[in-house]
């Protein structure tokens, strides 16, 4: 049998304990998409893989690609994300980004655009761009991958553009005030959220500089994102609960 060795840059988006000594890691790579790898001995503290096999590890990985689960042999870090790991809020949002990627992608389907977006989000978070804003932008962009790309440019009912909108979760996007009766559960949007949601969808990750938003605006956007994912993709994120707890302490 020929063992196919591969080397690829990737980010670990999930880890699972396997037996007494091993871990299974889910690695998101530019070349191969999402792959599952067995990391033998990774639970032993002295094993070199133990430092590697953590969510948000970002580096060059040497592994054997199997038909099912592959095997991870070595990995070399490209960025330890020290600031993310030592800041509870940043770490929470980075976990949310990793979990979203894991939940919304299929194994072995490469998407270089998505990979770059994931990398860029984490690198910007590490450099100090607001983690809550970055996670929201990433979540809005991932709606397309989830098959629930919302309409954020015009009314979903009449197709006209308006100065203000409501957000219709069941309709999938903006609803103008004249059509508001079509969805009694639609949520009226603030002027800030009306401007930011389409911007989050369109703006390339590379163009994001220093963005700072009022905490009420980010809370409003997070509520829309969370509800939309829950209702339209049946997605409840583990890391979301943690973010909710954090946001209660956020200063206004
Ligand atoms: Zn309308």
Look-up of token digits 């339209």: 232
For residue 66, the model assigns a pLDDT of 77
The domain boundary residue, chosen from 25, 58, 77: 77
Q: What is the dihedral of CA 85, 7, 137, 242, to 10 degrees?
A: -40
Q: Residue 239 is part of a domain; what is its CATH number?
A: 1.20.1440.120
202 in any annotated domain: yes
Q: What is the distance in A from the centroid of ligand 1 to the CA of 154? A: 8
Q: Using the structure block, give the residue that is written with the tokens 């962009």.
A: 141
Residue 242 lies in a domain: yes
Those residues with Cβ within 8 angstroms of residue 39's Cβ, 6 or more apart along the chain or in another chain: 22, 23, 24, 25, 49, 52, 53, 71, 72
Q: Is the dihedral of CA 199, 200, 202, 205 positive or negative?
A: positive
Last residue of a domain, one of 77, 112, 130: 77
Q: Are residues 92 and 65 in the same domain?
A: no
* Domain contains 14: yes
Residue 63 sits in the same domain as residue 38: yes
Same domain, 92 and 57: no
Q: Other CB atoms closer than 10 Å to residue 177's CB: what's the count? A: 14
Average pLDDT, the chain: 92
Interior CA angle at 115 toward 21 and 195, to 5°?
125
C-beta separation of 112 from 93 below 8 A: no
Cα(179) to centroid(ligand 1), Å: 4
Q: What is the pTM of this model?
A: 0.92
- Distance (angstroms) between ligand 1 centre and the Cα of 190 equals 17
pLDDT at 41 over 60: yes
Q: Are strands 33-39 and 70-77 parallel, antiparallel or unpaired?
A: parallel
Residue 167 is assigned to a structural domain of this protein: yes
- What is the 143 CA–ligand 1 centroid distance (Å)? 22
Assign 250 a pLDDT band (cuts: 50, 70, 90): low
pLDDT at 246 over 80: no
Render pLDDT for 128-186 as a digit per residue (tens, 0 to 9): 999 999 999 999 999 998 999 999 999 999 999 999 999 999 999 999 999 999 999 99
Number of domains in the chain: 2
Per the structure block, which two tokens stand in for 250? 């956020």
Q: What pLDDT sits at residue 105?
A: 94
Domain that holds residue 70: 5-77
Domain finish residue from 77, 98, 130:
77
Domain presence at residue 252: no
Q: What's the CA-to-centroid distance between 203 and ligand 1, angstroms?
A: 25
Taking the centre of ligand 1 as the mean of its atom positions, its distance from the CA of residue 236, in whole angstroms, is 30
Both tokens of residue 22?
């091993």
Q: CA 106 to CA 175: how far, in whole Å?
A: 32
- 32 CA distance to ligand 1 middle (Å): 42
- Going 117 to 87 to 55 to 79, the CA torsion angle's sign is positive
Instruction: State the pLDDT confidence band at 127, using cuts at 50, 70 and 90.
Output: very high
Q: Which of 3-7, 76-80, 156-160 has the lowest mean pLDDT?
A: 3-7
Query: What DSSP designation does 151 have?
Result: B
* Cα of 151 from ligand 1 centre, angstroms: 12
Cα 170 to middle of ligand 1, angstroms: 15
In a domain, 182, yes or no: yes
Q: How far is the centre of ligand 1, averaged over its atoms, from the C-alpha of 113 (Å)?
A: 33
| 239 and 136 within one domain | yes
């Amino acid at each position: 049998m020929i063992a196919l060795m591969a080397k690829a840059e990737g980010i670990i988006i999930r880890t699972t304990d396997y037996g007494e000594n091993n871990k299974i890691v889910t690695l998101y790579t530019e070349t191969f998409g999402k792959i599952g790898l067995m990391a033998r001995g990774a639970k032993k503290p002295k094993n070199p893989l133990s430092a590697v096999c953590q969510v948000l590890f970002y580096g060059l990985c040497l592994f054997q690609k199997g038909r099912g689960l592959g095997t991870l042999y070595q990995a070399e870090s490209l960025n330890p994300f020290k600031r993310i790991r030592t800041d509870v809020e940043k770490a929470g949002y980075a976990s949310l980004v990793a979990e979203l990627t894991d939940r919304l992608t299929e194994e072995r389907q490469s998407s270089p655009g998505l990979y770059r977006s994931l990398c860029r989000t984490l690198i910007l978070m590490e450099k100090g761009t607001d983690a809550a804003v970055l996670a929201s932008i990433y979540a809005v962009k991932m709606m397309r991958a989830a098959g629930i790309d919302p309409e954020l440019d015009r009314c979903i009912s009449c197709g006209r553009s308006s100065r203000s909108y409501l957000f219709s979760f069941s309709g999938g996007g903006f609803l103008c005030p004249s059509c508001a009766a079509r969805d009694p559960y639609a949520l009226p949007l603030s002027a800030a959220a009306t401007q930011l949601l389409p911007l989050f969808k369109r703006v390339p990750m590379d163009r994001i500089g220093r963005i700072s938003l009022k905490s009420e605006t980010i809370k409003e956007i997070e509520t829309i994102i969370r509800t939309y994912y829950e209702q339209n993709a049946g997605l409840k994120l583990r890391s979301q609960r943690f973010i909710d707890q954090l946001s209660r302490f956020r200063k206004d």
